[in-house]
Amino acid sequence: MKLSLGPIPYFWDRDRVSDFYARVVGAPVDIVYLGETVCSKRRALRLPDWLDIAERLSAAGKEAVLSTLTLIEAESEAAYMRTVAENGRFSVEANDMAAVNMLEGVTPFVVGPHVNVYNRHTLELMARAGARRWVMPMELDRETLAALQAQRPAGMETEVFVFGRLPLSFSARCFTARAHNLPKDECGFRCADYPDGMPLRTREGQSFLSLNGIQVQSGETYNLVHEIGELRALGVDVLRLSPQAQGMFEIVDAFRGVADGHRESSAAAAMLEPYQAFGPCDGYWYGAPGMNQVSGD
Amino acid sequence: MELVCPAGSMPALKAAVDNGADAVYLGFRDGTNARNFPGLNFDLDEAHRAVNYAHKRGARVFLAINTYPRPSQWQKWCRAVDQAATLGIDALILADPGLMDYTARTYPDLRLHLSVQGSATSHEAIDFYVRHFGVRRVVLPRVLSLTQVQNVMKRVKAEVEVFGFGSLCVMVEGRCTLSSYVTGESPNSSGVCSPAKAVKWEESSAGRRSRLNGVLIDVYAPDEPAGYPTLCKGRFEVGGNVYYAMEEPTSLNVLDILPDLYRAGVAAIKVEGRQRSPAYVAQVTRTLRAAIDACTAAPETFTPEVRWVEQLDNVAEGRCHTLGAYSRPWQ
């Protein structure tokens, strides 16, 4: 099974991003998704910078994919997306139907997790438009995946998000700016101060969600390390790990070992434990509330 | 600019039609629509009667099948489309691309609208649905500023419907799984957000607490009015402060920008609230009918009447209103 690194969901500064991908070059991942997918105001890196990183990853034998913005609001964002779609060198992950529209018939592409593929008819439509891989939406469960795998279009690869805080929603509003009593247009890039997002707790102190600009993530970390055998049996091709500031390369090693059959999932789970600030969850996989932890209960 | 009103029941449908709605929208009594609440919506017979009632009085009927069917549900959703096609409705509101493909192939003459759950926020995304399925109208998610709506209008090849009044969805519709994260059921998968069966109220001398599947959504002082615990409208702690971290309980109201929407060429103003009472539907329909008529008669001099604003605030979530994302400062 291949391992992928999803796009960095947080606003890291240029140096941090450069250092991160300098390490990724030597890390045991097969596919790396690059680019800003959350907020178009975050421009620490421009397209030439991302292309430069993609070239270096490509030279190291990895597949580099440019990932597009999830919520398109302004014409300028659509124009940037078109530049990405027509880069001519690297394949693209479409996180919105606007990107699918631009990529259709132009170049093979990846359908990201924020395009709602819930059934084989939508997946076939994506295949006809030129998709060669799809990432299962996070709220779907194993029964849905099994049914989709049984009838997936020829040549379509399947990728499943297996580790990281879940991207649960997007808004026009910036919740990080709101937490600082700032309007989005004068946000001062406060999200740069939270390299793993801003924890949101209930009034009785329960960790609940994480604020990341216009995105709301889960507080708990989605973790399917115990389910890798099942994912393999279902014919899943790629396991996606979502970048976080803490322990990313230890996380990669833990999953690599299990994916290659060199490590028991329980040993990997122990390795991952320090890097789940508020504990694991896996409910979505079992058709339960996403925040639940079902395996091991 | 037409007025499209919610019909969660036959009395609500009559209230909308009798008070001046140009069109009503409704759904079947199951998970195929995004207001799958107990006691709401229409079976096939009721839907027939609803269409008859509306058509006799010159109002059009849209039917929403706007959740995303998983493989085990596919046949049921197709049957819903098949049944809808027998009703003589004026448009079908869909979100799922696969289901739209089925519908466009099977019923090429059936007019299609893209649901707000389709998350299409740009002319490029809309173009995909127009090219593939001949979609005639798109309902925009409540995330665009007025300027952005105006820009979409310049390039779009379909009619555009926008939300004008009702409970405010803070997140991009069709891309929010907060509810299934907490309860296992989301608008996309089950047609519900923060479902009532997961709600628990706790009373104590210190006040009232609302929970959603055990998660504390809000705490109210003894004299404080309590609202439904929609999970994005609770008070939480972030950075040491307790506040409405995502949004206050409030309603969207576009009266202030009605002439701008009209001049931009918006085809329809949609009212949210199939889960609300017939009295709500009657009041909101009557008020917006008057406002839209005044606006289209004289857009240059239009100003919202104070009594309209009061009438709408009286039935609004949180008894107050906002322009939401239409206004940049809100964002």
Q: Is residue A138 a contact partner of residue A167, using CB atoms and an 8 Å limit?
A: yes
Give pLDDT tens digits for B93-130: 999 999 999 999 999 999 999 999 999 999 999 999 99
Interface probe for B, chosen from A115, A135, A140, A169 (most Cβ of B below 10 Å), is A169
Say if residues A145 and B70 touch (Cβ distance below 8 Å).
no
A147 touches chain B (CB under 8 A): yes
- Any idea how long chain A is? 297
Question: Which has the closest alpha carbon to B87: B135, B26, B136?
Answer: B26
Judged against a pLDDT cut of 90, whether residue B288 lies above it is answered with yes
- CA distances for B191 relative to A28, A160, A251, B67, B185, angstroms: 41, 24, 36, 6, 8
Flag if A144 and B71 touch (Cβ within 8 Å): yes
Query: Is the domain defined by A2-165+222-276 classed in CATH 1.10.10.10?
Result: no
User: How far is residue B81's CA from residue A61's CA, in Å, rounded to a whole number?
Assistant: 48
How far apart CA B164 and CA B288 sit, in angstroms, is 9
Chain A residues with CB-CB distance to B143 below 8 A: 71, 73, 171-172
Note the pLDDT tens digit of each residue in B154-191.
999 999 999 999 998 899 999 999 999 999 999 999 99
* pLDDT reported for residue B37: 87
Q: Which residue on chain B is closest to A94 by alpha carbon?
A: B125
- Enumerate the domain spans of chain B: 2-168+250-330, 178-243
Q: Considering only CA atoms, which of B123, B64, B136 is closest in space to residue B96?
A: B64
Q: Alpha helix locations (H) across chain B?
A: 10-18, 44-56, 74-85, 97-106, 123-133, 146-155, 178-183, 187-190, 258-264, 278-297, 306-314
Residues (pLDDT < 70) of chain A are 297
Q: Do A175 and B331 touch (CB under 8 A)?
A: no
Structure confidence by residue, pLDDT tens digits, B269-280 = 999 999 999 999
Q: Does B145 touch chain A if contact means CB atoms closer than 8 Å?
A: yes
Query: Could you tell me if B9 lies within 8 Å of chain A, comparing CB atoms?
Result: no
Tens digit of pLDDT for each residue in A210-246?
A: 999 999 999 999 999 999 999 999 999 999 999 999 9
Stretch B79-89: mean pLDDT: 97
- Euclidean distance between CA atoms B1 and B22, whole angstroms: 9
- The number of CA neighbours under 13 Å toward the Cβ of A282 is 19
pTM comes to: 0.96
A130 touches chain B (CB under 8 A): no
Question: Given a cut of 90, is residue B205 above it in pLDDT?
Answer: no
Across the interface, do B180 and A289 touch by the CB < 8 Å criterion? yes
Q: What is the pLDDT of residue A297?
A: 53
d(CA B310, CA A238): 55
Output the pLDDT for position B318. 82
Query: For residue B173, what are the CA distances in angstroms to A76, A116, B107, B166?
Result: 22, 12, 26, 14
**What confidence tens digit (pLDDT) does each residue in B212-263 have?**
999 999 999 988 989 899 999 999 999 999 999 999 988 999 999 999 999 9
Please give the span between the terminal C-alpha atoms of chain A, in angstroms, as a whole number: 27
Touching check for A40 and chain B: CB below 8 Å? no
* Contact between B71 and A170 using a beta-carbon 8 Å cutoff: no
CB distance A127 to A146 below 8 Å: no
Q: β-strands B199-204, B207-212: how paired?
A: antiparallel
Residues 6+ apart with CB under 8 A from B50: B7, B10, B13, B24, B26, B42, B61
CATH 3.30.429.10 fits B2-168+250-330, yes or no: no
Query: pLDDT of B21-63, one tens digit each?
Result: 999 999 999 999 988 888 899 999 999 999 999 999 999 999 9
